Amino acid sequence: MDLDRELEELKVVQDVDFDRLIESKINNRIRKIVLRTLGAVTTLVMVVVCGISPALNLVNVNPEKLNNDGILGEYESIEEPSTLHKTLSAWIETQFPYMELDYVDVEKKGFGCYDLNLHVMDGKDKIWVGGLNNVNMTMKRGKLEIANDPKAYMTMVFGKFATEEYSGATREEVFRDTVKSLPESAYLDIAVTLESPVSLESLKNNEVGACLKWIKCYSEGSVIQPGLSLERCVEWQDGTTRDKMTDKELKAQVVSNLQILIDNVKLWSGLSFFEEGKGNYIYSSDMAVKHMKEYIEKEADSDSLSTQMFCLSGSRDDILNFVNLYDIKGISVLNASLIRF
């Protein structure tokens, strides 16, 4: 060995401190081994970071890229929302009454992982456009999950509507007696289930001061009844407000929302799809897409809209007057305040 040969050569040298010399040689060897090991580890880390992480970002869904394909108008206002914004907005609107997506920011974490920070607006409360994010989501290698939703904006709470299997909704008589006891200035947000479907047109004609906010679009024989907001917190630059749209235009919006979810199912894969209609159901994204396609096939050529379940807001007297016009199966009070500013 090299060390043995070096020691033999040193025998001819007089007055050498062999112990110190041997220690020095060994330390040098150890130092070289450590440096080589560190170099190999550093190279491996660089290969992983510079190679594997971008590869994982490439092969999995990239929400950051899909959040940057929107169109900005004058003064950087949003003229056309991004694919990510449209997809999450459709997912929220189709299931959650009063809720609306304001914006979404994406932070790349590497290795196919992303953090999504959303600002979701609640139409039952004061609207803060451009406020701080209040819902946090994570996407890990193509699977989207809700990480933090402290106000349950994107958390399904079953029982708002009276289903065939279960009704957690307040009976009509109890509701009337309770609401009558409130002061005249009281303002309510309620979820209503009728005994049978009615046309949207007839509901609009009988609003009598109350305001329709959100409906579940009824379709005979369809597994899902997609939700649609009739009054949004924010209107986009096209200037079209939902309350000015015809039934044909609203039906087209419902189909458009479902088609967006179908086309971008990989973007919301990992989330569930909730249906509160004939029963309370939770579907995987793939199963939900199957039922969405069935709904579109049934309803795409129809220009009319009907509903059996919807959300309504108004003063105490406006709500009572509205309830008196229909056969009610169930009512749930989502929010009540003594006065509305």
Calpha distance 87→95 (Å, rounded): 13
d(CA 301, CA 122): 32
Q: Kindly give the confidence (pLDDT) of every residue in the chain, 341 residues in length, as a single tens digit, with 9 standing for 90 and above.
A: 565 665 565 555 545 566 676 767 677 777 778 778 877 777 776 666 565 555 555 557 899 999 998 765 444 455 688 999 999 999 999 999 999 998 999 999 888 899 999 999 998 887 766 668 899 999 998 899 999 999 999 988 888 887 665 555 666 777 888 888 999 999 999 999 999 999 999 888 876 788 999 999 999 888 999 999 998 877 654 556 787 889 999 999 999 999 999 999 999 988 999 988 767 888 999 999 999 999 999 998 888 899 999 999 999 999 999 888 888 888 989 999 987 76
The H or E element spanning position 310 is: strand 306-315
**Per the structure block, which two tokens stand in for 134?**
């209040």
Q: What is the DSSP secondary structure assignment for residue 287, as one 8-state letter?
A: H
Q: Nearest-CA neighbor of 223 among 150, 115, 296?
A: 296
- Residue that has been written with the tokens 């040969």 in this structure: 5
pLDDT of residue 61: 86
* Rounded Cα–Cα distance for residues 286 and 275 (Å): 14
41: amino acid identity, one letter = V
**What pLDDT is stored for residue 199 in this prediction?**
94
Residue with tokens 């190679």: 51
Q: Are 118 and 178 in contact (CB under 8 A)?
A: no
Residue 183, Cβ neighbours under 10 Å: how many? Answer: 8
Identify the pLDDT of residue 63.
92
Q: How many CB atoms lie within 10 A of CB 155?
A: 12
pLDDT tens digits, one per residue of 44-89: 766 665 655 555 555 578 999 999 987 654 444 556 889 999 999 9
Q: Kindly report, residue by residue over 295-311, the tens digit of the pLDDT.
A: 999 998 888 899 999 99
Residue pair 306/230 in contact by the 8 Å Cβ criterion = no
Structural contact between residues 327 and 186, judged by C-beta atoms closer than 8 angstroms: no
Instruction: Evaluate whether 179 touches 320 at the Cβ level (below 8 Å).
Output: yes
Buried b / exposed e across 58-78, counting CB within 10 Å, b at 16+? eebbbbbebbeeeeeeeeeee
Rounded Cα–Cα distance for residues 183 and 201 (Å): 31
Q: State how beta strands 78-80 and 99-110 pair.
A: unpaired
Residue 36, Cβ neighbours under 10 Å: how many? 10
CA angle 130, 135, 141 (to 5 degrees): 120
